[in-house]
Structure 1
Amino acid sequence: MSLQLGLFLLALFSLAAIGTPIAYSILVGALVYLAVAGQDIALAGEQILAGLYESFVLLAVPLFIVAANIMNAGTISERLLQFCVAAVGRFRGGLGHVNVTASLIFSGMSGSAVADAAGIGKIVIEMMTRSGQYSRGYAAAITAASATIGPIIPPSIPMVLYALVSNQSIGYLFLGGIVPGLLMGLVLMAMNVYISKQRGFALEEPVPLRELPRHTVTAFPALLMPAILLYGIYGGVTTPTEAAAVAAAYALLLAALFYRALSLRALYQILVESARSSAAVGLVIGGALILNYIVASENIPNMMADALVGLDVPPLLFLLGVNLLLLLLGCVLDATTIILVIIPLFLPTCRELGIDLIHFGVIAVVNCMIGLITPPYGILLFVINAVTKIPLREIIKEIWPFLGVLVLALLAMILVPDVVLWLPRLFGYPG
């Protein structure tokens, strides 16, 4: 290890250990590296600007954030919830199923787990706790677990970021996430049924079936968004970035004109909040671009690839090992940092071992989403704690069964690649 790399790592981990945001830790560490290496510090700015200007796909990130925030601000979330209650609220653990189903639908609009948890999740938690059947911890835990589906079913901000670092097709990554997302929803609903029977949760008052068409018609314009998005990308009408713009514009039209639930003042607040969220992601991206330069300068990817290939590691064993590492990292790092900083280190080895990068990307994103509900960091646990004031200890106590079934679903995706690759191959993916 070179002196400059050692000092970079020392600065990075020292700053992170005292609570400095990871983006700032990377940027300061990078400046230390460049100074000690005798390189022009302006290289840091050059790497950021070059990386951003060459990555048209990054425009999709703020656009998806705007779409999600508009969906949360209007009455769209409530209309979708009413539809879900009418459709699945009649079964055992009904509001738990509503929670998961709402996340499955909302994931086709936002691409963000945090937007799902903070928006529609907060409303469902209030419904569950108001009914008196579900404890606060249980309602919050199933909400956090179901919110992890948000970035798996397209659109997906983390998959856009993975496409940036791996140079893979966003369209095929989005397709690869559909079946895994549905699988995650299925295992969460199965666990909800099991716990509901164990604890004797009473059945909800069912919405009469004759009212289901009315709720469907009310929610139908919102339900159309995923279809419009997917048709735009896979029908060749739009690029993924243009599809993100269409999603934001469609959400704005729905909230402002069709549902008449968005004022100019509210729109201003949405744009300000979206700008802040986009800037936070942009800082991590900027740090990652400089870090990638440092990693390439030190020839770390090739060294790792040579070492692992020299060990003759079977591809499956490598996948299992990397996913175990990502699960552990997910306990302390956020998903954006893992995707932009850690995952690129493994891509050369994946290519050497013949591991499909679409398959690897989808399971890596699923893994990062599971990390969002893994104690002690688990950012979704903190988000729900912040918006509902439910104590963290109550949420963590109830999260473990849902965390367990999601890990089992991840294992199925690793062992059976067709879970991820079936749909992309159906649409012409050659891998």
Structure 2
Amino acid sequence: MNFASPFSISLFAITALAFLGLPVGHAMIAGSILYLGLAGLDMGTAAEQFLNGMMSNYIILAVPLFILAAELMNIGSMTDRLLKFCNALVGRFRGGLAQVNVLQSLIFAGMSGSAIADAAGSGKVMQKLMTDGDRYPPSYAAALTAVTAVIGPIIPPSIPMIIYAFVSDTSIGYLFLAGVVPGLLMTLFLMVQVAYQARHRQFPVEPPTPLRELPRITVEAFPALMMPVVLLGGIYSGITTPTEAAAVAAGYALLIAAGLYRSVTFSEFYHSVLASARTSASIGMLIAGALVFNYVVTIENIPEALRVFLTGWDLSPIGFLILVNVILLLLGCILEGTTIILVILPVLIPTANALGIDLVYFGVVCIVNIMLGLVTPPYGLLLFIMTRIAEVPLRDIVREVLPFLFGLVVCLGFLIFFPSLSLWLPRLFGYGA
């Protein structure tokens, strides 16, 4: 590799700017413009790539709409009603509140599509419930909330899957379907681990919810529980596109929280719109930076060079997948998930395609892997979020997270070696027919 080449200098610039604290999206734009200048190319190409990629792709609009839906859910009483419903189902067992934490993440996964939204919203409530009266160690409650939030982007809807569909040109509908069984499998793994730990560490047994209260609690939670049905029903019935479904989800969340539950003030609504706008803007800049940098990568012919290089290794599809997952697990320790999807996966997708690996299956495996990076030390984003929420040292949360992380890596292994776990449901709906 020529370290004095325009591409090497641009890579160094992007890395240096990111480490100095500049947002990754801005760093990629600056480094790409530097490359264009050093290579003697028209620097206006950067703006052209950004406009062509962002303005001509209708699917990107789904991202801010799902973010808004998640914010609206968290400001209303939807969270409290859903937690009561979960507690009525599994709260009566030993370690019941810990099981509630897992179950509520599964339910919220079908609404927000964002791990960070789940941790920052219902995670705050679960942290308070689990630590009240010294029921659970604060570090354990924080670690469990972090790992359960990982389920959010696997069960549809999923913001990372929308971004992956954008870079891979795969069907969002089939990607959403492919995430259902892996998400349920991850939930099962976590619930089994919690049940074992509850007996081993003698976690408390909560007073059971009287069975006569269950119908009332279910009725109160029913409108919120219907949100995934409305969302996914619109997509798979063909009534709405995924982007239109995201708008329906945001409108439905506002209708239920403000109209039916009457639990949203104008001030809360304003702040939720503001928060979703800020998050959407940061993701938008990251996508813009990735579009420009991917143009640079294409000019350098790096995807084709990588494909030829890996083909020379004569890897089998499984061998390639194992190599990719090791690389992604390592990158997940230091890079943010959206960056990996936008920058790293477009380089790997051509090789996966050449090896005959189904891109829907490949996307689900990669996204599960990337989401594990959110709870992987030393730079897992969810670990830092829960450190602030729980106000406990990072090292204590990491110690509690490691057993869960090991279990989820085992679950990832099942997904790699058994593609039907991801593809069974899409094929049931006609994928590949």
3-state SS of paired residue (2:375)? coil
1:350 equivalent in alignment to 2:357: no
Q: Percent identity?
A: 55
Task: Choose which of 211, 219, 222 in structure 1 pairs with 2:221.
Answer: 219
In structure 2, C-alpha distance between the alignment counterparts of 1:379 and 1:251, rounded to whole Å: 26
Aligned to 1:18: 20
Gaps of 5+ in 2: none
Query: Is the 2:139–2:390 Cα contact (8 Å) retained in structure 1?
Result: no
In structure 2, C-alpha distance between the alignment counterparts of 1:398 and 1:131, rounded to whole Å: 20
3-state SS of paired residue (1:50)? helix
Deviations 1:52-83 (A, max 9, x none): 01210000000000000000001110100000
Aligned to 1:379: 381
In structure 2, C-alpha distance between the alignment counterparts of 1:90 and 1:291, rounded to whole Å: 52
1:315 equivalent in alignment to 2:321: no
3-state SS of paired residue (1:138)? helix
Gaps of 5+ in 1: none
Q: Which amino acid aligns with 1:220?
A: F
Aligned to 1:73: 75
Aligned to 1:404: 406
Q: Which amino acid aligns with 2:241?
A: T
Task: Choose which of 250, 269, 289 in structure 2 pairs with 1:287.
Answer: 289
3-state SS of paired residue (2:286)? helix
Query: Is the 1:136–1:394 Cα contact (8 Å) retained in structure 2?
Result: no
Aligned to 1:169: 171
The Cα shift of 1:47 comes to 0.7
Aligned CA-pair RMSD: 1.0
In structure 1, C-alpha distance between the alignment counterparts of 2:309 and 2:106, rounded to whole Å: 41
1:39-58 paired onto structure 2 within 5 Å: 39-58=41-60
Aligned to 2:395: 393
In structure 2, C-alpha distance between the alignment counterparts of 1:13 and 1:187, rounded to whole Å: 37
Aligned to 2:192: 190
3-state SS of paired residue (1:168)? coil
Query: Aligned pair count?
Result: 431
The Cα shift of 1:280 comes to 0.5
The Cα shift of 1:27 comes to 1.3
1:137 equivalent in alignment to 2:163: no
1:179-328 paired onto structure 2 within 5 Å: 179-328=181-330
Deviations 1:20-42 (A, max 9, x none): 32112211111110110111211
Deviations 1:89-131 (A, max 9, x none): 0112101110010000011110000000000011011000004
In structure 2, C-alpha distance between the alignment counterparts of 1:401 and 1:335, rounded to whole Å: 22
Query: Is the 2:14–2:27 Cα contact (8 Å) retained in structure 1?
Result: yes
In structure 2, C-alpha distance between the alignment counterparts of 1:18 and 1:253, rounded to whole Å: 43
Query: Is the 1:128–1:134 Cα contact (8 Å) retained in structure 2?
Result: yes
In structure 2, C-alpha distance between the alignment counterparts of 1:374 and 1:22, rounded to whole Å: 20
The Cα shift of 1:311 comes to 2.1
The Cα shift of 1:203 comes to 1.3
Task: Choose which of 415, 420, 426 in structure 2 pairs with 1:418.
Answer: 420
The Cα shift of 1:227 comes to 0.8
Q: Which amino acid aligns with 2:108?
A: F
Q: Which amino acid aligns with 2:230?
A: I
Q: After TM superposition, what 4+ stretches of structure 1 lie above 3 angstroms from structure 2?
A: none
Q: Which amino acid aligns with 1:93?
A: G
Q: Which amino acid aligns with 2:317?
A: P
The Cα shift of 1:45 comes to 1.0
With the length of structure 2 as denominator, give the TM-score of the two structures: 0.98
With the length of structure 1 as denominator, give the TM-score of the two structures: 0.98
The Cα shift of 1:391 comes to 2.2
The Cα shift of 1:15 comes to 1.8
The Cα shift of 1:133 comes to 2.3
Range moving further from structure 2, 175-184 or 20-29: 20-29
Aligned to 1:83: 85
In structure 2, C-alpha distance between the alignment counterparts of 1:75 and 1:391, rounded to whole Å: 30
Aligned to 2:148: 146
Query: Is the 1:153–1:174 Cα contact (8 Å) retained in structure 2?
Result: yes
In structure 2, C-alpha distance between the alignment counterparts of 1:104 and 1:267, rounded to whole Å: 25
Q: Which amino acid aligns with 1:336?
A: T
Query: Is the 2:165–2:172 Cα contact (8 Å) retained in structure 1?
Result: yes
Q: Which amino acid aligns with 2:53?
A: G
Aligned to 1:61: 63
Query: Is the 2:59–2:242 Cα contact (8 Å) retained in structure 1?
Result: yes
